[in-house]
Amino acid sequence: MKRLKYLALTAALALPSLAAQASPLFATGLSDLEIINRENVYRTNESCVANGGCLGAGTGPGNYQLANPAVANNIFDGDVFSGVFAIRTITNSIVGTTWDQDNVAAGGIDTFTGYFAQEVKSVTLNFDGTLDRIVLGTPGADPFGILPAGIVAGIWVDTGAGTPYLTDGAVLTLAASIGSHIDGSLWALLSVGADAAGVDPDGYTYSTADIGTPAPQFAGGTFYTAWNIAATGPAFNIGGVNQINDPTEGFGGGALGGDPLTTAINNFLGICAPNAAYACNDIVGNGQLSLNQNLSPWVFASEDPLQIHVVPEPGSLALLGLAIFGLGFFRRRNG
């Protein structure tokens, strides 16, 4: 898959030099990325007038207001789920944990954090009994103006001692919380739409919950995502990824009409075959949604394990090839 370099974005964000960074550690193969997430639901002032259910001017950035979680069925097309997430551990399926948020090898606090904004594309009430389905996709605009067009999320690396991410707190502001998640070096920008070549990579994000239950909305709800790496930043430190499918996800391709449903047998194959007729993505994940129980500017919370299948860096492959060549030479000399 073609990777674009958003050099202008990197310069605009005045990101620090990679020389000061010690990026999270990945092992070759399948890894779980354990994350914690906080988010809010924002609605434009125009949609607030048309649909109601908002908490008033000033509760959101610019032309947006917070949607009121105490109102039943208060999710509408065009609403934006926006928030932050922190990757706390990276655990490889073979070698175990390769990185955590207090990575001693990095010399102190080593954060791997992100920000996202995803727009509600459709809401289907009582999709499965009392459960409702919310399908999300690329926003027309990021309410906080952080992400470029066509992007739903970004991930940053920050190893500066004394600059941990901030998720909750009685006096914590949204600006401070978001800022603490994007104050490092850009690792990658993520998308759910077509890639640079115009190919639909079957990205999707959706939630299944009973939104007819006012506060706590989303209690017991689930969240599924399938993101693709649309651009890499200076902190990107892996050679590439094999596209995979989420082994616990049964809806597949939900954000894009006409996409084939993912079958269980294809899910458990793990790495997707080229041109597979089911949803295949660079990063997949699922988790549980709930009302945030902490004092915080963030209304909702979730814990979502993400999965990524890393291939060796080109340098590693070259070293492996050199080692194999050397072994062959040794055998010829001593055979």
pTM of the model: 0.81
Q: What is the pLDDT of residues 312-329, one digit of tens each?
A: 765 443 333 333 333 343
Q: First vs last Cα of the chain: how many Å apart?
A: 43
* 135 has pLDDT over 50: yes
pLDDT at 17 over 60: no
Q: How does pLDDT run across 179-219, given as a tens digit for each residue? A: 999 999 999 999 986 544 444 445 678 888 888 877 666 66
Beta strands (DSSP E) in the chain are: 29-44, 64-66, 80-92, 96-100, 111-128, 131-137, 153-158, 185-191, 204-209, 221-232, 240-242, 283-291, 300-311
The answer, yes or no, to whether the previous bond of 314 is cis (omega within 30 of 0) is no
On the question of pLDDT at 177 being above 80, the answer is: yes
